[in-house]
């Protein structure tokens, strides 16, 4: 007993001394961390503690104080203690900022490595009326702080910065205040800061009236993505190399998980950024502007940042010149490995180049005598133009460790105040201008005029200038008459090369032979050949000399060739090899350039014109005359009666050789030939066409071949897919017999043959296109391969098809018919399911409008739009390639007939209407076809199904089926009825009757969307064959009449679409029964 008293007394003493013990523990704990802690425990118990007047000092200064700290404890288990909450009243935290380092007088030592019990949940906290005070060399900075909640589930914290002005040795800073708010909820952090600076002044930077509002959203996990949104303004900022006035900026940056704070690591984390910036006057080193506007929308991945940027500068000045406005818009690309890249549009207005800059390249603009004045005039015109001008170009800039490259990709133009205009159009796939390592290159079509400059057009293959001199290669140069110093200079040159460096100059470019009458098989009217020079700079000066003969121009008033008369024309004939006629011991020969040729001609029934680009003639004379005409392109527009035919070809080559006593031989090759106009009812082109023959007294005869002839429908909405053929033909005095196999362009599958027999001058003849026997199969030939119009109409086709079309041509007028035959043809449709075993012959009376004769008959072996149909017959007509007029369509079904009333179906129209009629459908066969278990039925039904098709919807409109005269029998033996009858006597009575029921009235109604909800109504009247017990006395009813009125409005389509419908039809019957029971759509007859 004494021991118990002693233990109780000892425990009581320990409890009474608990505050003193706790105070001593606090003091010792702080001393271990070189801190001094004081405070009074006002309350200390198992439920928590309160500590009043808590102070923590370190390094000889007070670091923390609080009026009261309250800790709430919880004991989830006997020896399991958890801090449930911490409340702090009026805490004050003091720190110091010195040498760029912020400390809190030793409070940092209160933190310890994470671990503890291993829990990840922080206790609830509440900080009221808190203050943070930071000492600096320029004064004290203070802020109010408050916080509450549980981190990271639901917590909030806010900080309000006191207005301050700090003036010290390192500079001056003042602000009117600032706020920062942070909230955490369900693992997400949201923070916002708002700070307004009146002035910041250091040795290098001076900022006035700056404001920043920023918002951060991120997760609490280290690998969480983050988003920073900001809006800021700076009234004035200056520095050693920069200044800016009235700057505003806003935007957002999206970051993935940061791996560090280095610039490369931050850039690697950027996934997107939207930035806007505007400013008044701005300056950086030697670059300045009165206005700046910039926008960027960037995205990044793995340190690769790219996206569109838009920059607008006004009153720009730089060492190279100035601009009233410079606008840049394009795409930026930056990566650590590849460097900086930009591609976009650059527009400059009211621009000028500095004399020191423009003089560096204008000094190279000079021409040799006698064109020295022209060079001086051109240099002065360019200098005036570059003093005030507008320019625009699409520029690409790439800056990497290896160096920089600047190029202009698309058309560029310059318009000067002096009236000079310069426009540059690029060559296909080439840059207009590039500057690499001090060497400039210019390519493309150049147009120069106005402002005392000459009118010039040049198609430059290459122009390079720089430290290596001037090199020019041009495909076409046209210089209008240009008079300077009493000298007029002009040129129309299809080819030109110039090399200039130091005192050297070498120019290669391209007078008269009159000819008329029959010459070597060609009838020439008055003709003249003249022109051609070579210009070189030699020791004695500039020398201009003929190339073989003088450079030539061929003037003629007409040429006759094989019944075709070419009208008056003028052809430029220019030497290509430095001499017009090759030197040597052999027969005379040479090469000449005709330039661009446009030569009208006419025959008995045809007029037209021959157009050649940069044509070349290779000629020779040996007991006759032979020449070969070639060109990069040929155009041959023809007018034939009231129809047209155009022939455009690339790299044409025509050879003509004549000799005394024999007909002139003619051969020709056309590449990439395109036929157009109204004569041919198709778009036709060919990779290569060759002809070898002769010009006789009756016309042209010879062999013709066309490689890779492409035939496409001329309609905007093509009926057939593009076809390819390799054709051969024989021409006999203009009568052309042609043939060739046809194959699909896309797949190369052979599908038919084309044959034609036409007089090409009279335009009389016939043509036939016939298919091969076409066998369709899955993974092989499909209808969409023949016509894009069949896409979605026929898929997964199988079967056989043949077609033939015939065209007659009389004086250029064409008519055509076609016949199509299908057998054992099947295909898949979206609305009708699989259609199989289609057979029939269809005749198109008008091939070009795609119209058939009426009453075309096609039989259909089977289809399944939800119920299996077979042995159908379709009678229809087709017009204008889109209208199907169905005269009749019928299928035998379940002992009766399902048929379509006559209707019009327009291909591609979204809304259609059809009506299905059912006649004498045998119920017993219907149950068997639908495989409905535990249902027996006898009798026949008839009715009608109006159907509207609206886009993808199939709507049944008040369909009705009625029992035919004589009624019938129905029996339902399903388990669902037995289970339902156990809960309701009347339901049991009804379903007992339905187990063997003779009906006199049967009416079924359907109304609704097949793909959604359908309303089904059923009216059934008759007598039960079975004896039925009824009532509490088990009375027996025999031959009792019943009448059933059932209405179901449900989404039956869900069941029809399920895969179980065809494997377990009981699902359907049970579903309907359940709907009946739910709606209670049953009642006995009135005489029950």
Task: Say yes or no to pLDDT of 849 above 60.
Answer: yes
Mean pLDDT, to the nearest integer, of 539-566? 65
Cβ contact 888:872 at 8 Å: no
Sign of CA dihedral 127, 130, 135, 139: positive
Q: What is the pLDDT of residue 231?
A: 92
- Are 581 and 589 contacting, i.e. CB atoms less than 8 angstroms apart? yes
Residue 78: predicted pLDDT? 57
Report the pLDDT value the prediction gives residue 550, as an integer from 0 to 100. 62
Q: Please give the average per-residue pLDDT across 627-650, as a whole number.
A: 84
Q: Which two tokens stand for residue 212?
A: 């920043």
Angle at 659 between CA 655 and CA 662, to 5 degrees: 100
- DSSP codes, 931-948: T-TTEEEEEEEEEEEEEE
Q: Which of 428-432, 686-690, 795-799 has the lowest mean pLDDT?
A: 428-432
Please check the confidence at residue 758 and state whether its pLDDT lies above 90.
Answer: no
Q: Are strands 226-239 and 911-922 parallel, antiparallel or unpaired?
A: unpaired
pLDDT, residue 350, reads: 92
pLDDT digits (tens, 9 = 90+) for 877-900: 888 767 788 888 888 888 888 887
**Nearest-angstrom CA–CA distance, 518 and 559:** 9
Could you tell me the pLDDT band of residue 293, with boundaries at 50, 70 and 90?
Answer: very high
Question: Residue 1062's pLDDT is what?
Answer: 41
pLDDT in tens, 347-362: 989 999 888 888 887 8
The two tokens of residue 951 are: 């886009």
pLDDT greater at residue 227 or residue 1030: 227
Rounded Cα–Cα distance for residues 714 and 698 (Å): 34
* Number of DSSP helices (H) and strands (E) in the chain, helices first: 11, 70
The DSSP annotation for 734-801 comes to: TEEEEEEEEEETTT--EEEEEEEEEETTTTEEEEEEEEPPEEE-TTS--HHHH-GGGTTTSEEEEEEE
Classify residue 110 by its DSSP letter.
G
What's the confidence (pLDDT) of residue 624? Answer: 65
917, pLDDT greater than 90:
no
Share of the chain above pLDDT 90, in %: 4
The share of the chain scoring above pLDDT 70, in percent, equals: 77
| Lowest-confidence pick of 57-71, 243-257, 945-959 | 945-959
Contact between 510 and 532 (Cβ < 8 Å): yes
User: Could you tell me which of 597, 371, 361 has the C-alpha nearest to residue 479?
Assistant: 371
Report which of residues 950 and 548 the model is more confident about. Answer: 950
* Nearest CA-CA partner of 530 in 480, 580, 576, 478: 580
Higher local confidence (pLDDT), 467 or 398? 398
Q: What is the C-alpha separation between 740 and 738, in angstroms, rounded? A: 7
Q: How far, in Å, CA of 946 to CA of 941, rounded? A: 17
Domain boundaries, the chain: 774-893, 921-1084
Identity of the highest mean pLDDT range in 167-181, 471-485, 560-574, 945-959: 167-181
Residues 6+ apart with CB under 8 A from 200: 171, 172, 173, 206, 207, 210
Higher pLDDT, 235 or 373: 235
Helix or strand holding residue 427 (H, E) = none
How confident is the model at residue 312, as a pLDDT? 92
pLDDT surpassing 90 at residue 979: no
- pLDDT higher at 967 or 643: 967
pLDDT confidence of residue 563: 64
pLDDT value at 1018 more than 70: yes
pTM of structure: 0.45
* Cβ contact 426:443 at 8 Å: yes
Pairing of strands 61-77, 80-89: antiparallel
Region class of 887: left (phi > 0), else alpha (psi between -120 and 50), else beta: alpha
Distance (Å, rounded) from C-alpha 1028 to C-alpha 1024? 8
Say which residue, 948 or 855, is predicted with more confidence.
Answer: 855
Angstrom CA distances, 1001 to 107, 894, 977, 1086, stand at 96, 20, 22, 15
- Residue 115, pLDDT score: 40
Round the CA-based radius of gyration of the chain to a whole number and report it.
48
**What is the predicted pLDDT for the residue at 714?**
82
Average pLDDT, the chain: 77
Kindly report, residue by residue over 710-742, the tens digit of the pLDDT.
988 887 888 788 989 999 989 888 788 899 998
pLDDT at 370: 44
Model confidence at 1085, in pLDDT bands (50, 70, 90)? very low
What pLDDT shows up at residue 1064? 44
CA distances for 705 relative to 261, 630, 726, 748, 758, angstroms: 72, 19, 8, 20, 15
For residues 885 and 878, what is the distance between their CA atoms, to the nearest angstrom? 6
Q: Return the higher-pLDDT residue of 131 and 139.
A: 131
pLDDT band at 341 (very low <50, low <70, confident <90, very high): confident
Beta strands in 624-696 (DSSP E): 625-630, 633-640, 643-659, 662-676, 683-696
The Cα–Cα gap between 713 and 786 comes to 11
Peptide bond into 152 cis (omega under 30): yes
């Amino acid at each position: 007993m004494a021991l118990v008293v002693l233990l109780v007394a000892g425990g009581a003493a320990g409890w009474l001394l608990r505050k003193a013990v706790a105070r001593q523990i606090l003091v010792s704990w702080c001393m271990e961390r070189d801190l001094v802690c004081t405070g009074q425990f006002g309350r200390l118990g198992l439920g928590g503690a309160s500590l009043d007047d808590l102070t923590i000092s370190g390094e000889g200064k007070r670091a923390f104080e609080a009026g009261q700290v309250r800790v709430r404890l919880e004991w989830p288990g006997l020896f399991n203690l958890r801090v449930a909450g911490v409340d702090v009243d009026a805490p004050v935290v003091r720190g110091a900022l010195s040498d760029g380092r912020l400390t809190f007088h030793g409070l940092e030592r209160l933190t310890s490595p994470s671990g503890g019990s291993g829990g990840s949940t922080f206790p609830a906290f509440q900080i009221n009326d808190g203050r943070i005070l930071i000492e600096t060399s320029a004064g004290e900075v203070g802020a109010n702080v408050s916080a509450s909640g549980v981190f990271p589930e639901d917590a909030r914290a806010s900080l309000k910065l006191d207005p301050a002005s700090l003036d010290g040795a390192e500079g001056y800073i003042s602000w009117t205040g600032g706020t920062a708010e942070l909230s955490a909820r369900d693992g997400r952090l949201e923070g916002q800061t708002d700070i307004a600076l009146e002035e910041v002044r250091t040795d290098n930077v001076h900022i006035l009236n700056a404001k920043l509002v920023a918002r951060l959203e991120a997760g609490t996990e280290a690998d969480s993505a983050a988003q920073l949104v900001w809006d800021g303004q700076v009234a004035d900022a200056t520095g050693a190399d920069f200044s800016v006035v009235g700057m505003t900026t806003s935007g957002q940056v999206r970051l993935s998980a940061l791996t560090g704070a280095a610039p490369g690591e931050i850039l690697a984390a950027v996934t997107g950024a939207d930035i806007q910036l505007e400013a008044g006057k701005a300056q950086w080193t030697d670059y300045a502007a009165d206005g700046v506007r910039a926008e960027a929308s960037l995205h990044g991945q793995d340190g690769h940042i790219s996206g569109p940027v838009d920059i607008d500068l006004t009153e720009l000045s730089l060492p190279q010149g100035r601009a009233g406005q410079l606008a840049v818009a394009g795409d930026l690309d930056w990566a650590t490995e590849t460097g900086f890249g930009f591609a976009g549009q650059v527009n400059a207005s009211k621009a000028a180049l500095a004399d020191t800059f423009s003089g560096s390249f204008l000094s190279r603009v000079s021409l040799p005598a006698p064109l020295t004045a022209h060079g001086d005039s051109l240099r002065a015109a360019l200098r005036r133009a570059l003093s005030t001008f507008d320019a625009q170009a699409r520029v690409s800039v790439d800056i990497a460790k290896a160096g920089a490259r600047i190029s202009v990709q698309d058309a560029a133009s310059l318009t000067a105040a002096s009236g000079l205009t310069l426009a540059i159009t690029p060559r296909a796939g080439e840059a207009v201008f590039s500057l690499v390592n001090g060497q400039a290159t210019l390519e493309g079509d150049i147009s120069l005029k106005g402002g005392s400059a000459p009118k010039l057009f040049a198609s430059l293959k290459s122009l390079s200038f720089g430290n290596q001199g001037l090199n020019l290669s041009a495909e076409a140069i046209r210089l209008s008459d240009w008079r300077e110093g009493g000298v007029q200079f002009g040129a129309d040159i299809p080819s030109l090369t110039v090399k200039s460096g130091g005192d050297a100059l070498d120019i290669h470019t391209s007078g008269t032979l009159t000819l008329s009458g029959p010459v070597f098989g060609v009838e020439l009217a008055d003709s003249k050949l003249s022109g051609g020079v070579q210009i070189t700079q030699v020791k004695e000066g500039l020398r201009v000399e003929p190339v073989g003969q003088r450079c030539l121009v061929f003037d003629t008033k007409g040429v006759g060739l094989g019944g075709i008369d070419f009208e008056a024309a003028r052809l430029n004939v220019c030497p290509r090899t430095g001499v017009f006629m090759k030197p040597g011991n052999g027969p005379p020969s040479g090469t000449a350039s005709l330039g661009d040729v446009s030569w009208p001609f006419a025959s008995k029934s045809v007029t037209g014109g021959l157009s050649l680009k940069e044509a070349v003639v290779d000629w020779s004379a040996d007991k006759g005359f032979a020449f070969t005409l070639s060109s990069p392109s040929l155009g041959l527009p023809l007018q034939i009666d009231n129809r047209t035919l155009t022939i455009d070809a690339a790299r044409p080559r025509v050879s003509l050789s004549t000799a005394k006593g024999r007909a002139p031989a003619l051969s020709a090759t056309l590449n990439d030939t395109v036929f157009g106009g109204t004569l041919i009812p198709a778009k036709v082109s060919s990779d290569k066409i060759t002809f070898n023959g002769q010009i006789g007294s009756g016309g042209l005869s010879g062999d013709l071949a066309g490689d890779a002839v492409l035939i496409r429908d001329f309609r905007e909405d093509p009926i057939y897919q593009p076809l390819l053929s390799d054709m051969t033909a024989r021409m006999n005095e203009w009568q052309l017999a042609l043939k060739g196999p046809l194959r699909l362009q896309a797949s190369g599958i052979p599908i038919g043959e084309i044959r034609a027999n036409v007089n090409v001058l009279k335009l009389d003849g016939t043509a036939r296109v016939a298919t091969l026997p076409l066998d369709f199969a899955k993974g092989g030939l499909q209808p969409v391969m023949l016509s894009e119009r069949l896409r979605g109409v026929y898929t997964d086709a199988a079967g056989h098809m043949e077609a033939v079309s015939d065209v007659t041509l009389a004086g250029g007028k064409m008519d055509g018919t076609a016949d199509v035959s299908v057998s054992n043809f099947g295909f898949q449709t979206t609305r009708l399911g699989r259609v199989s075993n289609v057979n029939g012959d269809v005749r198109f009376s008008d091939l070009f409008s795609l119209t058939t004769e009426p009453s075309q008959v096609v039989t259909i072996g089977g289809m399944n739009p939800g119920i299996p149909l077979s042995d159908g017959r379709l009678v229809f007509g087709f017009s204008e390639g889109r209208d199907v007029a169905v005269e009749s369509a019928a299928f035998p079904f379940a002992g009766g007939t399902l048929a379509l009333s006559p209707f019009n179906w327009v291909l591609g129209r979204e809304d259609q209407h059809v009506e299905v009629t059912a006649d004498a459908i045998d119920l017993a066969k219907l149950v068997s076809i639908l495989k409905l278990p535990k249902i027996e039925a006898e009798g026949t039904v008839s009715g009608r199904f109006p159907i509207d098709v609206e886009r993808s919807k199939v709507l049944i409109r008040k369909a009705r089926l009625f029992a035919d005269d004589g009624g019938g029998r129905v029996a339902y033996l399903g388990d669902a009825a037995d289970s339902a009858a156990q809960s309701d006597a009347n339901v049991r009575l009804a379903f007992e009757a339905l187990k063997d029921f003779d009906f006199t009235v049967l009416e079924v109604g359907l109304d609704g969307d097949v793909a959604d909800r359908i309303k089904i109504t059923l009216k059934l009247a008759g007598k039960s064959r079975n004896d039925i017990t009824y009532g509490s006395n088990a009375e027996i009813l025999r031959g009792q009449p019943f009448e059933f009125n059932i209405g179901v409005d449900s989404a039956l389509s869900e069941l029809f679409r399920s895969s179980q419908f065809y494997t377990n039809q009981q699902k359907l019957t049970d579903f309907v029964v359940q709907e009946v029971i739910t709606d209670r759509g049953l009642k006995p007859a009135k005489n029950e």
